[in-house]
């Protein structure tokens, strides 16, 4: 078949391989045999449904064009293509891009318009050479705010994302205005995050103080019990109770003496009244 003839011929002298406008439905595993020579791969307008893990073998790849396919999945192995400069996945069925794209440190251009993207990976802000990101006509609701601080990024194309909430519709086709909107939101988020962290720290401190208060209250209760148990050992308390005891002893002693004397008098009187012999 013609497509296999193109594949068997291998890359040209400049490392380019054109397999476009064919009936490929599966990413050819045979491409791995060209890992030391293949620098540019064109497979646009085929029937591909995914970019498999084997893409990781193409470590010298600088340009990959798989536009006009039916791709709904890109394996994380693409992060091993560390020399990749241009990625074109336009007009496919992608819902997301792999976060491992951030490992493609030389990546300058991402063309992903007319897909089904709902979000972009935050790791795109780690790309140190990126200059263009085209995500027009997708289903994006937001984009990484940190992109506005990537110094090499000159253009973000995001028109046609009706639910995009990072900028008014009339500002989305102006990269400078879009960057301004992203910067304002990023600063606002940083303030909110700082306040949130501060609130969480205060909550942690409040919980620690509450725990300390509970422990202190418990210790005070225990100390009050100890003080109550040791009250007899206080000198002033001992003296006061001793004086009361001596007063009680004297009171009882006086009462005993009184009643003893009273009894004695009664007995003597009775004795005198009941004598049976004359007194000499």
* Residues 4-25 pLDDT 10s: 556 777 899 999 999 999 989 9
- Judge whether 35 and 60 are in contact, CB under 8 Å: yes
Whole-number pLDDT of residue 79: 96
**Predicted TM-score of the model (pTM):** 0.68
Please report which residue ranges of 10-127 form alpha helices under DSSP H: none
The pLDDT-based confidence of 3 (bands split at 50, 70, 90) is low
Res. 216 pLDDT band, cuts 50 70 90: confident
pLDDT at 114: 97
* pLDDT of amino acid 172: 72
Helix ranges, the chain (H): 2-9, 175-230, 235-273
pLDDT category of residue 182 using cuts at 50, 70 and 90: confident
DSSP letter at 73?
A: E
149 Cβ contact partners less than 8 Å away, ≥ 6 residues apart: 125, 183, 186
- 102 secondary structure, DSSP code: G
Phi, psi of 70 (to 5 degrees): -125, 30
Q: Are strands 132-134 and 155-157 parallel, antiparallel or unpaired?
A: parallel
- The answer to whether 138 and 164 have CB atoms below 8 angstroms apart is no
Q: In the prediction, which pLDDT does 280 show?
A: 37
């Amino acid at each position: 078949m013609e497509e296999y003839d193109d594949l068997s011929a291998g890359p040209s002298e400049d490392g380019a391989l054109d397999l476009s406008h064919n009936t490929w439905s599966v990413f050819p595993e045979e491409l791995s045999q060209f890992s030391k020579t293949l620098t540019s791969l064109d497979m646009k307008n085929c029937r591909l449904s995914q970019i498999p893990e084997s893409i990781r073998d193409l470590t010298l790849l600088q340009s990959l064009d798989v536009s006009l396919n039916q791709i709904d999945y890109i394996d994380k192995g693409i992060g091993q293509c560390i020399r990749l400069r241009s990625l074109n996945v336009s007009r496919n069925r992608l819902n997301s891009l792999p976060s491992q794209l951030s490992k493609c440190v030389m990546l300058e251009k991402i063309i992903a318009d007319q897909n089904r993207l709902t979000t972009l990976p935050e790791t795109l802000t780690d790309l140190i050479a990126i200059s263009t990101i085209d995500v027009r006509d997708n289903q994006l609701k937001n984009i990484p705010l940190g992109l506005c601080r990537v110094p090499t990024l000159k253009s973000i194309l995001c028109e046609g994302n009706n639910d995009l909430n990072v900028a008014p519709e009339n500002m989305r086709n102006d990269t400078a205005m879009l960057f301004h909107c992203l910067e304002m939101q990023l600063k606002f988020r940083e303030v909110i995050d700082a306040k949130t962290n501060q609130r969480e720290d205060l909550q942690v401190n409040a919980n620690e103080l509450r725990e300390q208060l509970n422990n202190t209250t418990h210790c005070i209760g225990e100390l009050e019990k100890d003080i109550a148990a040791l009250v007899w050992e206080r000198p002033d308390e001992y003296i006061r109770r001793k004086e009361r005891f001596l007063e009680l002893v004297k009171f009882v002693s006086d009462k005993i003496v009184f009643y003893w004397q009273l009894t004695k008098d009664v007995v003597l009187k009775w004795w005198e009244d009941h004598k049976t012999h004359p007194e000499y």
